């Protein structure tokens, strides 16, 4: 068996989350990913807590999460020889993934226009906060962007929470991860298109665009109704969590038929006659004030599992509200083999979620640990740049690698 991207070579000039995660998704599917880092310091994510150090080596939990199944080299791209070596690697590569500040590689003479002269088949994925393609640069194009800023601007923070407190972030790193997924999709589509055209392309993957697209329901509702969504309320689908003996269970009742089945499941046929609950819109607006208190008279006498089982029996979607430790212990995810055991030799064996793709005829992702800084520099330069031992010694002396 093989993997879908076997034979594809990717150069990653990534840091923090979005670029590295995008490249890792490609590596999980079999691509040879070569992570190019600055000598001495490397990707700043290498030094983030939680950090474990042992025998002169270290491994950050964040770095472990975004950099498995890669090779790592160091190149000083501020040095003319470092730039020459990078261009040599580009000659035999299929993809470049980078998430530096817009224009950083252009200023070093290593932007897309220069690289495509060397390799017309090259696919160049640039991940930025607000985009950089000529003709599409907006007023925020030069802003630096981290996850929290993009979550805020996309509108997500305005609709999360109960509505009784300050705006709330969703999962930390969410904007980076979701953007990285689309970056990997863009690379995959470009590889497919290249088989027909023979040409590469530039992929302009903006975090703001990506996360704003996830707000499609809220944006659609505003466009249709003129109403600005508020936290904790979906005026077009009764949704929320019910208290149980051991926590909460989430429910959604988006149709009249499901409303009948819900009332039957909880033994409350009388709710069907309540005038303030006659329509989906009314039930949405009165979920917290009427439906939830009435339903919790039933659910609070049962466990999460019992509540979900009863609702499921009536054909209703429901789920236990699980904490992180419960997700790790979930038998469904265990059967799906959703966790990889990664042992990097420093922090010991750690379970990490795999790329959530399953193919009938291709293997699951490998379990290779993230490399130490520059671990593969000599080998890669020998293989792909024809470097000799004396050259490598000279480059080390001059700070090129």
Distances in Å between the alpha carbon of 279 and those of 113, 220, 238, 272? 57, 20, 10, 10
Three-state SS for 206?
A: strand
Active site residues: 176
Counting every residue written for the chain, the total comes to 401
Per DSSP, 4 falls in state T
Q: Which of 241, 237, 264, 265 is nearest to 253 (CA)?
A: 237
Contact 17, 180 (CB under 8 A): yes
Contact 384, 94 (CB under 8 A): no
Q: 27 is written with which tokens?
A: 């590596």
Give start and end residues of each alpha helix (H) in 29-91.
Answer: 61-66, 80-91
* Strand bridging mode 70-74 / 57-60: unpaired
Q: Cis before residue 50, ω within 30 degrees of 0?
A: yes
Q: Which of 122, 125, 170, 115 is nearest to 148 (CA)?
A: 170
Q: What is the dihedral sign for C-alpha 68, 72, 76, 82? A: negative
Please name every residue paired with 128 in a beta bridge, in sequence order, or none if there are none: 206
Three-state SS for 329?
A: coil
**What's the rounded Cα separation, in Å, for the pair 342 and 371?**
12
**What's the rounded Cα separation, in Å, for the pair 155 and 385?**
47
Contact 376, 34 (CB under 8 A): yes
Q: Which of 360, 358, 381 is nearest to 28 (CA)?
A: 358
**What's the rounded Cα separation, in Å, for the pair 146 and 144?**
7
């Amino acid at each position: 068996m093989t993997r879908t991207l076997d034979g594809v070579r990717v150069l990653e000039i990534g840091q923090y989350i979005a670029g590295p995660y995008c490249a890792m998704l490609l590596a999980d599917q079999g691509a040879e990913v070569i992570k190019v880092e600055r000598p001495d310091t490397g990707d700043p994510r290498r030094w983030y807590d939680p950090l474990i150090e042992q025998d002169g080596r270290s491994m950050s939990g964040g770095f472990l999460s975004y950099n498995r199944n890669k090779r790592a080299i160091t190149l000083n791209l501020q040095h003319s020889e470092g730039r020459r070596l990078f261009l040599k690697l580009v000659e035999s590569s299929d993809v470049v993934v980078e998430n530096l500040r817009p224009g950083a590689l252009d200023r070093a003479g290593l932007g897309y226009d220069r690289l495509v002269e060397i390799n017309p088949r090259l696919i160049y994925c640039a991940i930025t906060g607000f985009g950089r393609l000529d003709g599409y640069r907006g007023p925020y194009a030069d802003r630096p962007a981290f996850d929290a800023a993009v979550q805020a601007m996309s509108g997500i923070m305005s609709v999360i929470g109960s509505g009784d407190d300050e705006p709330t972030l969703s999962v930390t790193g969410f904007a980076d991860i979701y953007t990285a997924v689309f970056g990997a999709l863009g690379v995959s589509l470009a590889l497919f298109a290249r088989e027909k055209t023979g040409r590469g392309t530039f992929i302009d993957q903006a975090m703001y665009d990506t996360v704003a697209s996830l707000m499609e329901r809220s944006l659609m509702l505003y466009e249709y109704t003129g109403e600005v969504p508020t936290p904790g309320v979906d005026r077009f689908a009764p949704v929320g969590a019910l208290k149980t003996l051991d926590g909460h269970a989430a429910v959604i009742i988006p149709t009249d038929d499901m409303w009948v089945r819900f009332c039957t499941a909880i033994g409350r046929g009388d709710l069907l006659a309540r005038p303030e609950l006659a329509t989906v819109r009314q039930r949405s607006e009165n979920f917290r004030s009427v439906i939830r208190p009435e339903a919790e008279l039933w659910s609070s006498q049962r466990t999460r599992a019992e509540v979900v089982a009863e609702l499921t029996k009536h054909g209703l979607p429901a789920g236990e509200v699980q904490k992180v430790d419960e997700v790790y212990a979930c038998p469904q995810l265990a059967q799906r083999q959703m966790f990889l055991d990664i042992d990097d030799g420093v922090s010991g064996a750690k379970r990490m979620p795999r790329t959530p793709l399953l193919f009938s005829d291709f293997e699951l992702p490998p379990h290779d640990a993230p490399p130490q800084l520059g671990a593969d520099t000599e080998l890669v330069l020998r293989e792909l740049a024809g470097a000799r031992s004396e050259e490598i010694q000279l480059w080390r002396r001059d700070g090129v690698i």
